[in-house]
Structure 1
Amino acid sequence: MSAGFQCKQFYIAHQHCAMKVGTDALLLGAWAQLPTSGAILDIGAGSGIISLMLAQRSQGTLAISAVELDDAAAMQATDNVRHSPWPTAITVIKGDILTYQDAQRYALIVSNPPFFQDALPSSDAKRQQARHTNSLPFSALLSKAASLLAPGGEFCLVLPAASQAIFAKAASASGWQCQRLCAVQSKAEKPVSRYLQSWRLAEDNNGTTPFPIASTLQIHAADGQYSTAYRALLKDFYLKF
């Protein structure tokens, strides 16, 4: 098992994290639209990969708060941030986002949240916490994000296709409107595997109901190589690009 993941400008150690660096986090860290100003909140930071990607993209100019429930993962994220080029841009906070209190309101909130709704519990308690919604139900996540989002701010996350309809229904019922939605496929002929998405509170859309800007992304081309679009999205991070 790999002890970490090397990006072009920083290294992520993840041997003490239940969830290792994966495609979902890399996609979200590259796809989320940065605010021109204001602070960023990373819910369920894990190893800190998404926070560090956003710090690289903003050149360390935006303050990022990274909240992580698991002790070992929070310690690892803290270490990863300390050894990165942006040690002062990111503050790792060990704690439960559901009890997290902050007067700060965030222009961007990102999350690669637990997503399993009905799957059998994992035998690994930390992995279960990271993957199953009983540790962070969608309704609670949406409510907390709403309380911490600045006016006009966006909530960006990535979810498997199997969880998308449940989340979208909960979000719409809670007063959120989808702004952007990207369907991700491994190849063009394969079913959608995950959705990248950006949501805004309806009250910030002045009573209008916008149609989300929809797009698709194929990770691999027909020949099995990484697609041009995927390479373009991750070119600043993947060593091989």
Structure 2
Amino acid sequence: MSAGFQCKKFYVAHDHCAMKVGTDGLLLGAFALLPPPHSDILDIGAGSGLISLMLAQRTAGANLIDAIELDPAAAEQAATNVANSLWPNAIRLIKGDILTYSSSKRYRLIVSNPPFFQQSLLPIDKKRSQARHTDSLPLAALLRKAADLLHEQGVFSVILPLPQAEYMLQLAMTEGWYLAQCCEVRSKAEKPVQRLLFSLSLTAEITRHSTLIIHQADGDYSADYKALLRDFYLKF
């Protein structure tokens, strides 16, 4: 078996992907607000297919998920992961660039774990650079594309490090988005916020704020983190 990550109900091979399975993807896949059954979902930058597979599990395959991935090797591996899963008919892999993607669909949920390195030295590895750096997917362009593809009652869920999240939220507010949900993620209670999990809407919303602490003082995972990922982590 190739290198990968074993969840309770599916396996994600990721040895051909620049970005491996990590906490960010797991958090977003468990956090995203589920749309009504039989409505469409879009996963932008699907990578290994982790988030799409988590959403397929959470919806019991009742929603069609379009998963778009720019890197051909990652898209091919994601397609294999989907084919080997319990929901091969629920996820459609699209090899291509979201910025040139067009569809008559209006998605009730769009998710993205986008590149986040800005104004920094590019990593040496080209694929890893593409996966991590906003040169390949500027946040402003991502917001505009999501607005074009989102259903009027849909939400766009994202995870980013705090500085990039604050920048994206500033852009979003100037372009007519509303913040529906925002979760501050800290490794420990006394540590600074490391990530923001947030959901944007094109209709006015009362923002729901929350905080997620990943580890307790003793280093064990917190009860909230275990509850969020209990359906996926083997150790939970």
Which TM-score band applies after superposition, normalised by the shorter structure?
A: over 0.9
Extract unaligned runs of 5+ from structure 1.
Answer: none
Distance 2:177 2:116 in 1: 19
Per the alignment, residue 233 of structure 1 pairs with 228
Correspondent of 1:213 among 193, 208, 211? 208
Aligned AA (1:7): C
Distance 1:164 1:106 in 2: 22
- Give runs of aligned pairs for residues 1-241 of structure 1, distance below 5 A: 3-37=3-37, 38-201=39-202, 204-205=203-204, 210-241=205-236
Structure-1-length-normalised TM-score: 0.96
Q: CA deviation at 1:162?
A: 2.2
1:113-135 Cα deviation digits (max 9, x unpaired): 01111111011111111111110
Distance 1:185 1:98 in 2: 32
SS of 2:154's equivalent in the other structure is strand
1:9-47 Cα deviation digits (max 9, x unpaired): 000000000000000000000010101131000000000
1:144-188 Cα deviation digits (max 9, x unpaired): 000000111000010011212211111111111111000000000
Does the CA-based 8 Å contact 2:159-2:165 persist in structure 1?
no
Distance 1:117 1:103 in 2: 32
1:29-79 Cα deviation digits (max 9, x unpaired): 001010113100000000000000000000001000000000000000000
Distance 2:136 2:176 in 1: 23
Does the CA-based 8 Å contact 2:10-2:86 persist in structure 1?
yes
Distance 1:162 1:122 in 2: 19
Aligned AA (1:230): Y
Does the CA-based 8 Å contact 2:41-2:108 persist in structure 1?
yes
Distance 1:63 1:51 in 2: 10
Aligned AA (1:35): P
Distance 2:143 2:226 in 1: 31
Aligned AA (1:122): P
1:85-132 Cα deviation digits (max 9, x unpaired): 000000000000000011111000000001111111011111111111
Structure-2-length-normalised TM-score: 0.98
Distance 1:174 1:42 in 2: 21
Q: CA deviation at 1:211?
A: 4.3
Distance 2:165 2:55 in 1: 24
Does the CA-based 8 Å contact 2:82-2:88 persist in structure 1?
yes
Aligned AA (1:218): I
Aligned Cα root-mean-square deviation (Å): 0.9
> Percent identity of the aligned residues?
61
Distance 1:16 1:117 in 2: 24
